[in-house]
Amino acid sequence: MCRWLAYSGSAIPLEELLYKPDHSLIDQSLHAQLAGQTTNGDGFGVGWYGTGADTPAIFRSLVPAWNDRNLREIASYVESPLFLAHVRASTGAAVQQTNCHPFRYGRWLWVHNGLVRDFLRVKRELALAVDESLYACIEGSTDSELLFYLALTLGLEDDPPSAVERMVSLVEDTGHRHAIEAPLQMTIATSDGESVWAFRYSSEERSQSLYYSSDVRTLRRLYPERALLHEVSDETRMIVSEPLVDLAGAWKEVPESSYCLVREGVDELHKFRSR
Amino acid sequence: MCRWLAYSGSAIPLEELLYKPDHSLIDQSLHAQLAGQTTNGDGFGVGWYGTGADTPAIFRSLVPAWNDRNLREIASYVESPLFLAHVRASTGAAVQQTNCHPFRYGRWLWVHNGLVRDFLRVKRELALAVDESLYACIEGSTDSELLFYLALTLGLEDDPPSAVERMVSLVEDTGHRHAIEAPLQMTIATSDGESVWAFRYSSEERSQSLYYSSDVRTLRRLYPERALLHEVSDETRMIVSEPLVDLAGAWKEVPESSYCLVREGVDELHKFRSR
Amino acid sequence: MCRWLAYSGSAIPLEELLYKPDHSLIDQSLHAQLAGQTTNGDGFGVGWYGTGADTPAIFRSLVPAWNDRNLREIASYVESPLFLAHVRASTGAAVQQTNCHPFRYGRWLWVHNGLVRDFLRVKRELALAVDESLYACIEGSTDSELLFYLALTLGLEDDPPSAVERMVSLVEDTGHRHAIEAPLQMTIATSDGESVWAFRYSSEERSQSLYYSSDVRTLRRLYPERALLHEVSDETRMIVSEPLVDLAGAWKEVPESSYCLVREGVDELHKFRSR
Amino acid sequence: MCRWLAYSGSAIPLEELLYKPDHSLIDQSLHAQLAGQTTNGDGFGVGWYGTGADTPAIFRSLVPAWNDRNLREIASYVESPLFLAHVRASTGAAVQQTNCHPFRYGRWLWVHNGLVRDFLRVKRELALAVDESLYACIEGSTDSELLFYLALTLGLEDDPPSAVERMVSLVEDTGHRHAIEAPLQMTIATSDGESVWAFRYSSEERSQSLYYSSDVRTLRRLYPERALLHEVSDETRMIVSEPLVDLAGAWKEVPESSYCLVREGVDELHKFRSR
C-alpha cells in the first residue's frame, strides 16, 4: 500500500506536513499504523505548484524518505499553496524514479494508492487504449502512470470526475474480459494547480482509507493552542490516505465510492461511479 | 554513443577485460577516444553465464562505472566463459536500471549501441508489434529493449540472424511510413550462453564501429610477452565497439552490414541485410 | 536497531538465508517483529569468503534490500561457506555505502548492531586512539566502523576476544570520562574467513538479542522434512540477531555478556567482560 | 579536477548558469575542454542563499549532473542572488553525498578544486588540528571538507582571507614535515551569504585556472544583444574555474596566488600568501 497527501490552502513550507506532524507522511513511511503491513521504502515524490508558474515542479527519489537529505532541504526551502506527496510500496514494478508519483503532464499532477489487479495480463490492452499522442510520454512501468494517461485520454483536462469514471469503467471492462473479478483498487488525487480532486473507489467496494480535514474554523475552536491552524486561511484543506495527527474531530472519512473537489471557496463531496 | 564488449572463451575474471586493459571498457567510459564526443556515465551493465546455470546473472548500475565499488568487487569475484558488458550514454530515455543493458529474457542477453531515429514517433507502433505474451516483460523505456523484444517476437530463439534481419526490416518499414529517412543505427550482441552473434548495420550504411579479436594463436606469436594470451584457449574471442588495447594486428573490423557468429570451434562472418 | 547474521558451514547460495527462510534477513528488514520499532531501510551489506581467495568480497547498497535487484542476482549466484550480512537502521550517521556493514580490513569482516551513546561527544577521542597507520583506512562516519578500527588497533588479528574486550574497555572509559552512563550497546560478529566470533555485550547489561543455531544433527531429528538441513554439514552454524525461522528448539540465546566462537569442529561459548 | 562556479548579484534561476550557457557547468562536466582530461561524474552539488533565510540550502547528488532530473527541477524552480555549484571528479575518496561540495557550516558554504597531496599520509594529523567542537561535524572523507573545518578552526567566520592563509600554512607545514614537496593545490570559494571570497593558490605556484567576470556595464556595451546582461544588476559577478561562454573580454584571470572578494558594491583583488 502506498500513502499520499494533498494540500490546498495558504502557502506553507512542505516540511509542515511532510515532517512535523506526529504522524507525518515521512513518519508513516517508517511506521505503518492504520493500514498497513509493509514499509513504504520504494520511492518518494512530491509535486508542488508555485505562485504563477505554469508547470508544477517535482522531486522524486529512491532513497527512503526518512533519511533523504535532499528531500529535507527541499521541504524546508519550498513553500507552496498546493502540493501532492506520495510514498511508494511497490506492488511489483521496478523501484525507479519514473515509477515514483506524482506523475506530471503539463499542469497536471497525479498520485495513486491501490492497484490494477493482474496488471501484467491487461497492461498491453490498456496501453493500446492510450491516445497515440500521449503514448510516448509514458516513461515508467506502473499501473498508476497508465491510469493517469488513460484518464488524460478520456478527457481529464476538461472534466476530471467524468474522465476518471470513464477510466475506471475501461479498466473494469478490460479486467472482466480477462476474467479478473475485482480489477481496480484506488484512491487517487489529481490537480491542475487550482483544484484538487480526490477519488476513493474499488471494484469490490472495499476501498482503502481516505480522509479530508475538517473546516479550519472548527479546528481552531477545538484546538486553540495549535499555531499552524491560526496561520493558514479558512480555505485550507488536506486530503490524506491516513490521518497525520490524532486530533478528535480533525478528520472525516471520504465515503466509499465518492470523490471530493477542493478549491478556494469550494469544498464538495460527490458520489463516484464507474460508467 | 554506447560502448559494449562480448567475450567468449576460457573462463576469466570479468576484471581482466573491464578494468585491466590499457583502454578497458571502464576506461573508455571515462575517456572517449575513437568514437565519441560524450561520456558514458548513464549506466553500466554486465551479464555473465556461469558453468551450468540456466539463466545468466546480470549486474546493472547507475553509478558511473569507474567509481562503482560493487562493480569492482563483482568484477574481481566473478569468473565467466561468456559475458556481455555495456556502458550507456543515454539518447534521451531516463537513466534507470531498467534502461541499462544487457537486457535478459530466459537464457538470452542483448546489448545495443545506436538508436531508432525519432523513436518517440514510432514507439507505440513498434510496441504493438511485440508478441502479446512478451509485452508485459518490457520494463524500461529504451529503443534498445524494444528491439530485443521485437527480435524475440520474430524468432530470435530459433534463428537469431534471421530474426534480427526481420526486426530490422520491421523497424525500417515502420520508420519509412513515418517519413524517417534512416530509421536504424545499430551494433548488437546477443547470446544464449553458447554462441554470440554480433551485428553491425545501419539504414544509412555508415554503421558505428565494431571489431573482433584476431585468432589467439596469431596473437601469441605477435605478442609472446602477454601472459593472458597464453592462459586462454585457442577458441577465445572478443567482439568490441572499440579496441581494448593498441596492439597492431590484434583487431579486425567487422565489415559494414555484416554479422559474426562465435562459438566453441566456430568463428564465422556473414553478410547481413534487412529483409 | 540493525540486524545481522553470520553463517559458517557448507557452501550455500547466499539466497538460502537472505531470502528463503520464513523470516529471512530481508524479510526482517521489511517487517520488524521481535526487536523493533523501526524499519531497516538505511543500507544493506553482505561480505563473503570464497574458497581460497585471500580477501572476502563485499556488496553494499543503499536501495532497500527487499527491492534491490543486484542483490537478488548476487544472492542467487554466489555460494559461500562463510558470510556475514547486515541490514542497517541509521542512528544518525549518513546513509551511504561507506557506512554500510560489513566493514573490511584485509581478510577481516565486521558487523555491528547497537551504538556508542553520545557518539559525537566521544568520536574525536576514540578516533585518536586508532593506530596511525590504520586511521586513513576509515572511510565512513559510523560508530560501528570506528569500533572495528579500535579493535584492530588493540590486536584483533592476533586475539579477537581479548582485542574486543580491550576495545570495550576503552570505549567505556572514554564515555565515563564524558559522564556518559552506559556508553556501549553491541552485538558484533567478526571473521577472518576461518572462524566467526560473535559478541553480546552492553554497558547496562541489557544487550540486544543474539541467537545461535542448534546442532544440525539435533535439528535433523526434530525436522526431518527440512531438505536444507540434510544438505549441509554437521558443522554448519548460524548466529543471528533474530531467529530466521520459527522452529522450536532451533535457536539458543547467546547469554548476556558472552561470546561464541564457531569454526570447523569448534563451537564454544565464553564469558565476555570489559577489561 | 573538479569544477565550480560562484554567483553573486541579482536573483536568477539557477538554471541560467547551470544549464543555459554554451559551456555551462553541466556541459563542462560532460565535455572537458580547457583543463581536463577527466569527466566530472562523481557527484554534483549546489548551495544557495534565499532572501532572508539564515542557512543556505544545499542539493547534492551522485547521479551524473547532465541527467539528474531532480537537479533540473530545482535549477528551474530556485532563484537565488548568491549560489555556489560544483561538479566533482574524485581523486580517491568515495563517491557519496557527504563528499559532494558545497560543504556547509551554519551560514557558510565552501567549494574546492584541487587536492592535498598524499592526503592519506597527513589526514590524521590535519584532523587532529580541527577544533574539538567542530570535529564531530565532519561527515565525509575528503581533503576538501577537512580544509573547510581547518579554516573554520582558524577563524574563517571572523576573517576569511587570514583564516585561509593560516589553513594553507598549516597544511604546507604538515606536508613538509612528511617530506611532501608541494602539499596543496587549490581554488576555493567560500561565502557567508553576503560576500564571496575566491582563492587561487598552490604550493608549486602553478595553480589551476580561475576566472572572474568583467564588469557588467562593460559586457553590456560589448554584447548589447545578450538579454541576461540587461536583466541583472551592475553588481553582478561570477567566479568560475573555467569560462562559461566564449565571449572575448568577458572573463579575466584571477592571478596566481591571489584572492577576490565580491559583495554588493565591492569587488577587490588581493595577493594571497601562505603564512
Match 525500417 to its residue by C-alpha cell.
B172
Check: CB of residue B122 under 8 Å from CB of residue B150: no
Count of positions (residues) in chain A: 275
Given C31, C42, C63, which is nearest A67 (Cβ)?
C42
Indicate which of B139, B149, B178 best probes the interface with A, i.e. most A CBs within 10 Å of its own CB.
B139
Q: How far apart are the C-alpha atoms of A213 and A252, rounded to whole Å?
A: 6
Is D88 or A74 the better-scoring residue by pLDDT?
Answer: A74
Check: CB of residue D156 under 8 Å from CB of residue D224: no
Q: Look at residue B169 and tell me whether its pLDDT is greater than 50.
A: yes
Helix A119-128 vs helix A143-153: crossing angle, to nearest 10: 30
Mean pLDDT of A21-25: 78
Q: How far apart are the C-alpha atoms of C109 and C241, rounded to whole Å?
A: 17
Radius of gyration of chain B (CA): 18
Contact C139 D141 (CB under 8 A): yes
Q: Which segments of D119-192 are extended strands (E)? A: 184-191
Would you call B2 a catalytic residue per the annotation?
A: yes
ipTM of the prediction = 0.90
Structure letter (DSSP) for residue A162: H
According to the 3-state scheme, what is the secondary structure of A163-206? HHHHHHHHHHHHHHHCCCCCCEEEEEEEECCCCEEEEEEECCCC
Give yes or no for A71 touching D (CB within 8 A): no
Residues 6+ apart with CB under 8 A from B179: none
Mean pLDDT of D48-66: 86
pLDDT, residue D83, reads 96
pLDDT, residue D38, reads 56
Is B66 or A60 the better-scoring residue by pLDDT?
Answer: A60
Indicate which of A74, A80, A96, A103 best probes the interface with D, i.e. most D CBs within 10 Å of its own CB.
A74
- Residue B22 in grid coordinates: 590499457
A169-225 pLDDT per residue, tens = 999 999 999 999 999 999 999 999 999 999 999 999 999 999 998 888 888 887 888
Q: Which of the following is catalytic: B2, B100, B137, B260? A: B2
Residue A266: pLDDT band (50, 70, 90) is: confident
Minimum Cα–Cα distance from B92: chain D residue: D67
pTM value? 0.91
Q: How far apart are the C-alpha atoms of B274 and C255, rounded to whole Å?
A: 72
Q: pLDDT averaged over chain B?
A: 89
Mean pLDDT of B222-249: 84
Residues in chain B closer than 8 A to A121 (CB atoms): 136
CA distances from B101 to A20, B68, B143, C68 (A): 42, 16, 11, 17
- Residue A216 in grid coordinates: 479550519
Check: CB of residue A62 under 8 Å from CB of residue D62: no
pLDDT, residue A117, reads 96
CA distances from B74 to A245, B16, B51, B70, D160 (A): 46, 12, 17, 6, 46
D103-122 pLDDT per residue, tens = 999 999 999 999 999 999 99
Give yes or no for A96 touching D (CB within 8 A): no
Given D31, D38, D69, which is nearest B30 (Cβ)?
D38
Q: How far apart are the C-alpha atoms of B135 and B121, rounded to whole Å?
A: 19
Q: How far apart are the C-alpha atoms of A15 and C88, rounded to whole Å?
A: 25
Q: Which of the following is catalytic: D2, D100, D137, D260? A: D2
Is D151 or C51 the better-scoring residue by pLDDT?
Answer: D151
Match 484546538 to its residue by C-alpha cell.
A223
Indicate which of A54, A60, A67, A73 best probes the interface with D, i.e. most D CBs within 10 Å of its own CB.
A73
Is C119 or B246 the better-scoring residue by pLDDT?
Answer: C119
CA distances from B80 to A243, B53, B107, B197, B229 (A): 53, 11, 15, 18, 16
Q: What percent of chain D has pLDDT over 70?
A: 95
Q: Which H/E stretch holds residue B80?
A: strand B79-87
pLDDT, residue C34, reads 40
Those chains having 3 or more beta-carbon pairs within 8 angstroms of chain A are B, C, D
Check: CB of residue C93 under 8 Å from CB of residue C114: no
Mean pLDDT of D171-185: 97
Q: Look at residue A271 and tell me whether its pLDDT is greater than 80.
A: yes
B73-88 pLDDT per residue, tens = 999 999 999 999 999 8
Q: How far is C59 from chain B (nearest CA, A)?
A: 6
pLDDT, residue C39, reads 62
Minimum Cα–Cα distance from A73: chain D residue: D57
